A and B are shown apart, each in its own frame.
Chain A
């Protein structure tokens, strides 16, 4: 069964450093998302991406964040200058069509020291 994959599974970085979280959505899916979950809190929407552009973003997704689909398979989330409060699980999700459910990847645990 096709699945969303994410790498790395765990990323440790120093505050102020740039990180890139990678996702490979399900191959024929058209809508892509990033969510995050701070430990003990709910899953929060960051950004959605469709037709090679951001379709929606939350207040969390400030100028330090960017997304890219550099080729036909990868979908990346970049945090330019990480802060301690960026420590969280980051989930990528994709879906085929507008009214379909989103399929989530296993997540990347980001730890900012």
Chain B
């Protein structure tokens, strides 16, 4: 059951540059998408979300883009900072239902 996919298991970026994390989904009924950040030995921490009625949501250094026709979303972090190094999970849901998570992308920001 791979309804949410993150095809890049890892990404390395220089400090100050842009980090782009990608996510694809298969279920067209999903209406809400979220990005979570996870450090080792901690639970996922909510980062940013987007409703399916929007195509962009911005919060400080973080922007999420949604392309519904392509069933694709991406998270942009700019400028990237060493403290951003973590595993990033894309998640999706329909209504009040549970979250479907991707497998995660490990981001390493190199100082």
* Chains A and B come from one and the same complex: yes
A-to-B contact residues, CB < 8 Å: 4, 6, 31, 33, 35, 41-45, 48, 50, 55-56, 58, 91, 93, 98-99, 101-107
Which of B43, B95, B101, B103 makes the CB contact (< 8 A) with A4? B43
Interface residues on B, range: 20 to 34
- Assess the B43–A105 pair: CB atoms within 8 A: yes
Which of B46, B95, B100, B102 makes the CB contact (< 8 A) with A102? B46
How many angstroms from the CA of A40 to the CA of B97 in the assembled complex?
25
How many angstroms from the CA of A107 to the CA of B44 in the assembled complex?
9
- Assess the A45–B100 pair: CB atoms within 8 A: yes
Given A106-B41, A106-B43, CB of A98 within 8 Å of CB of B102: no
- Assess the A104–B36 pair: CB atoms within 8 A: yes
- Assess the B97–A56 pair: CB atoms within 8 A: yes
Which of chain B's residues have a CB closer than 8 A to the CB of A35?
Answer: 99, 101
- Assess the A48–B97 pair: CB atoms within 8 A: yes
Q: Who on chain A is nearest to B42 by CB?
A: A106
- Assess the B97–A104 pair: CB atoms within 8 A: no
Which of chain A's residues have a CB closer than 8 A to the CB of B34?
Answer: 101
Let me know if B89 is at the binding interface, CB within 8 A.
Answer: yes
Which of chain A's residues have a CB closer than 8 A to the CB of B32?
Answer: 99
B-to-A contact residues, CB < 8 Å: 32, 34, 36, 41-46, 49, 89, 91, 95-104
How many angstroms from the CA of A19 to the CA of B16 in the assembled complex?
46
How many angstroms from the CA of A17 to the CA of B36 in the assembled complex?
33
Smallest beta-carbon distance B50→chain A, Å: 11
Which of chain B's residues have a CB closer than 8 A to the CB of A44?
Answer: 101
How many angstroms from the CA of A6 to the CA of B41 in the assembled complex?
12
Which of B42, B99, B100 makes the CB contact (< 8 A) with A107? B42
- Assess the B103–A45 pair: CB atoms within 8 A: no
